Structure 1
Amino acid sequence: MKLTVIGGTGMIGSQVVGKLNAAGHEAFPAALSTGVDMLTGQGLDQAVKGAEVVINVANSPTFDEKSLDFFRTSMDNVLAAGERAGVRHQVILSIVGVDEVPQLDYYRAKALQEELLRQGPTPYSIVRATQFFEFMDAVISMTSDGETVRLPATRVQPMAAADVVSAVVEAATGAPLGGIRNVAGPDIFPLDELGRITLAAKEDARTVVTDAGAGMFAAVPGDVLLAGPDARLAGTHYRDWLRETH
């Protein structure tokens, strides 16, 4: 099967390409570095030519209001190019709970991306994943003053990027879902506890202070970042991942 991976040189996209090719498929990484510009459309028609499936894991360069324009323009261009090429299946990677946090510009932008896909001309699949283990360092650094880290007790259900990749590949090589598949890690943590676990594993002396108003996840209400009872749970536990990667 021939597949085009939009954002195919990034953290998730490069692994998706590698996993698909290792399984005997033909996956092409579409990105600026391979001559494809989603915003202008340059190179898109050539990138999706002959592809049965387009997987879109590209990310906005910003997380503010500009992300709305990014996803609106890029999705319009990708869907149009796919329709011209006769693509049979469009897949995107999104976020669990994305339509329940309108306070966050980036989440509103991803919800818009999903809606554009649903309204588009091609059978589709939406894979919603929870937060990645790999982003925890960035979450900590956003609210650190050098001695303390301020984090809310928002409950999260993080997962390894490799498990996200497996979920995307499974969806892309199967029949279109015509809907959403939620995937998540096996364990639920309050974010402040997750911060303490992370710092302890790295022998980092900073102290985590629970602060309901700290960081971007302070805007998240209730348990909307949890995947729910129908989610597919990945097998990698955070503590095991920490031991193996640090």
Structure 2
Amino acid sequence: MTVDLAGRIVLVTGASRGIGYHLAKQSAEAGAHVIAVARTVGGLEELDDEIKAAGGEATLVPLDLADMKGIDRLGGAIHERWGKLDVLFANAGILGTISPIGHVEAKVFEKVMEVNVTATWRLIRSVDPLLRLSDAGRAIIMSSGAAHSAKAFWGPYAASKAAVEALARSWADETKNSPLRVNSVNPGATRTAMRAQAVPGEDPSTLPHPSEIAARIMPLASPSETRTRMIYEAKPDRWTSYQMPE
């Protein structure tokens, strides 16, 4: 499906690598002006070079999402410059450690919750008014199958993604009578640095490239996408979707 985002403003967090990098790149290819947010300046600059080489436009925002006031300032800056936001890809997140719950250090647990949950809430709070100013605001919140499988040793990460899905569900219900559409995505196992950290013995060549996953997610940013409160999940041979529970 070809996605037309000409003239639209798209915010992508975690844009310096992995799925976020390719969501930003493909959004620019679709005609959007991309606001690319990440901690890693080098990755952002590489993204910017690729986007410019293809004739696109991006604004780079080096920002650690643990900087809550920085997230607030980001919303203000977007309003001042563009007066609205059309698409949010809330993609950034951290894994923490794969460990028995009782062995997880407090500072690790708190950091996972800070970046994955609190920063996502702060981001939603910051851009919700901007997305409502769009004629077809779209919010795509990245989740994980861990939120549902809750496998051994994945406790902090699984808990954080379950919380993020709950935030998305509430937000989607609050905005169901507006033009804003809010959906969650579980991208499945993907050839990313986080996956390598989580499953170090896995052969990355057996996993889909993040550009493939990004291409599957992109239609959710389209003004023509009318569904909301959905969860999209990558399966080994297909993508499935279902309504978020009431």
Q: Once the 2 structures are TM-superposed, how far is the Cα of residue 140 of structure 1 from its aligned partner?
A: 5.7
1:158-208: CA deviations, max 9, x gaps?
A: 43312211122121223343210112333xxxxxxxxxxxxxxxxxxxxxx
| Structure 1 residue identity aligned to 2:160 | A
Q: Which residue of 2 aligns with 1:21?
A: 28
Aligned length: 179
Match of 1:80 among 97, 119, 125: 125
Q: Which residue of 2 aligns with 1:44?
A: 74
Match of 2:163 among 104, 112, 118: 112
**Structure 1, unpaired ranges of 5+:** 144-148, 150-156, 187-226, 232-246
Q: Which residue of 2 aligns with 1:6?
A: 13
Match of 1:53 among 64, 82, 87: 87
Q: Once the 2 structures are TM-superposed, how far is the Cα of residue 78 of structure 1 from its aligned partner?
A: 0.8
Which of these two proteins has the greater Rg computed from alpha carbons? 1
SS of match in other structure, 1:165: helix
1:171-190 map, 5 Å? 171-173=220-222, 174-186=225-237
| Structure 2 residue identity aligned to 1:159 | P
**Identical aligned residues as a percent:** 14
SS of match in other structure, 1:62: coil
How high is the TM-score relative to the length of structure 1? 0.61
**Bigger helix share:** 2
User: How many Å separate the matches in 1 of 2:192 and 2:201?
Assistant: 14
Q: Which residue of 2 aligns with 1:203?
A: none
User: How many Å separate the matches in 1 of 2:138 and 2:78?
Assistant: 12
User: How many Å separate the matches in 1 of 2:183 and 2:141?
Assistant: 7
Q: Once the 2 structures are TM-superposed, how far is the Cα of residue 137 of structure 1 from its aligned partner?
A: 5.1
**Structure 2, unpaired ranges of 5+:** 1-7, 42-60, 98-107, 176-180, 242-246
Tell whether the 8 Å contact from 1:56 to 1:92 is kept in structure 2 after alignment. yes
Q: Which residue of 1 aligns with 2:208?
A: 159
* Structure 1 residues 141 and 161, CA gap change in structure 2 (3 angstroms): same
Q: Which residue of 2 aligns with 1:125?
A: 183
Deviates more, 1:63-72 or 1:21-30: 63-72
* Structure 1 residues 100 and 179, CA gap change in structure 2 (3 angstroms): same
Tell whether the 8 Å contact from 2:146 to 2:161 is kept in structure 1 after alignment. no
How high is the TM-score relative to the length of structure 2? 0.61
User: How many Å separate the matches in 1 of 2:119 and 2:188?
Assistant: 23
Q: Once the 2 structures are TM-superposed, how far is the Cα of residue 86 of structure 1 from its aligned partner?
A: 3.6
